[in-house]
Amino acid sequence: MTKSTAEAPPFEAIGIVGCGLIGCSIAAALKQRNFGGRVVGCGRAGANLEMAVARGYVDAVENDLAKAAAVCGLLVVCTPVDQIANDVLAAAIGCRPGTVITDAGSVKQSVCGEIAHKLPPGVTFIGSHPIAGSEKRGCAHARPDLFVDHVCVLTPEAGTPPEAIGRLAGFWESIGMRVVAMSAELHDRALAQTSHVPHVVAAALASLLADENRRFTAGGFHDTTRIAAGDPGLWTAILLANAKETAAALRAVGERLNEFLQVIESRDKQSLTALLRLAKQNRDAIAAGILPSDATGFE
């Protein structure tokens, strides 16, 4: 179901709720790709929203969520994970029938669960996770190419209208993403491994760095801990929203680190090399862009 060529997003007006890094990058991408409809920025008055206007990412600003919802066929809620459900439900009150609402949160079960069965008739919510980001925040760091060639996961449910799924997929594809649909549960399990636990691990390393050892860090430490510079509040919300899967994946990392510890302490050269080889093989596969054969498309 992945389209080979990107087309204009199938909506006349798109509302971006939360004009930070992600929201403004989406808006910037729409403008760069000559989206013909209106882009409405929505959120608290402030520097981000002002910059979104000044840079031409949005055509208009509307501080009232329900009012923004009334004029848009698609709403993309880009607020922090622990605010998404509230914002979706507040916006839904103002939506016309046929409106599609989605989000950009990196946790899906908790968000989708809080919204389920609470929407007005004719309004559809489908969870999205455009897998791209930065440790930086705010409209000032928005990039129109942030999403290009990245995967966007959709988490439709059994009763989600296929037409709405198709239109939403078309929207993300229009800004360069490869769309994959899966359950919120499988998404959260995968992302615990690929994003949430790496964040914890990077934070653990950074948190232990003695001041006097800072001068002995180089590229390796810098890269390994880069994401630890991410916003503590945003990440607290993400880790707690996906606590169960994160904890399970974190235990797996703890066990693997214990294996390393054992082979290092017992000077088991062969086993240590085997572990490092497996790691290199997996990391090289990423660098080579090797994807499983069923890499994109709906499952």
Binders of a second copy among residues 142 to 171 (CB under 8 A) are 150-151, 153
- Compare residues 14 and 202 and give the one whose CB is closer to a second copy: 202
DSSP category for residue 228: G
- By the 8 A CB rule, do 115 and 128 touch? no
- Near a second copy by CB under 8 A, which window of 10-18, 108-116, 163-171, 272-280? 272-280
Contacts of 46 (CB under 8 A, 6+ apart): none
* Beta partners for residue 153, in sequence order: 129, 180
- Compare residues 100 and 241 and give the one whose CB is closer to a second copy: 241
Q: How far is the CB of 96 from a second copy (least distance, A)?
A: 34
Q: Is 1 in the site for a second copy (CB under 8 A)?
A: no
- Say which residue the tokens 């994160």 belong to: 246
For a second copy, the binding residue among 46, 140, 163, 273 (CB under 8 A) is 273
- Compare residues 7 and 255 and give the one whose CB is closer to a second copy: 255
Q: Is 117 in the site for a second copy (CB under 8 A)?
A: no
Q: Beta 60-62 vs 74-77: how paired, if at all?
A: unpaired
- Compare residues 122 and 233 and give the one whose CB is closer to a second copy: 233
Alpha-carbon 276 to chain mean position: 30
Q: Is 140 in the site for a second copy (CB under 8 A)?
A: no
Q: How far is the CB of 112 from a second copy (least distance, A)?
A: 17
Q: How far is the CB of 35 from a second copy (least distance, A)?
A: 24
Q: Is 180 in the site for a second copy (CB under 8 A)?
A: yes
| Residues 152, 21: Cα–Cα separation, whole Å | 16
Site for a second copy in 70-99 (CB under 8 A): none
Q: Is 26 in the site for a second copy (CB under 8 A)?
A: no
Nearest to 198 by CA among 152, 249, 142: 249
φ/ψ of residue 75, rounded to 5: -115, 130
In 3-state terms, what secondary structure has residue 151? strand
Q: How far is the CB of 138 from a second copy (least distance, A)?
A: 16
- Compare residues 75 and 177 and give the one whose CB is closer to a second copy: 177
With CB under 8 A as the rule, give the number of residues binding a second copy.
91
Q: Is 252 in the site for a second copy (CB under 8 A)?
A: yes
User: According to DSSP H, which parts of the chain are helical?
Assistant: 21-32, 47-54, 65-70, 84-92, 109-115, 162-174, 184-191, 197-208, 219-225, 232-241, 243-265, 269-287
Q: Is 116 in the site for a second copy (CB under 8 A)?
A: no
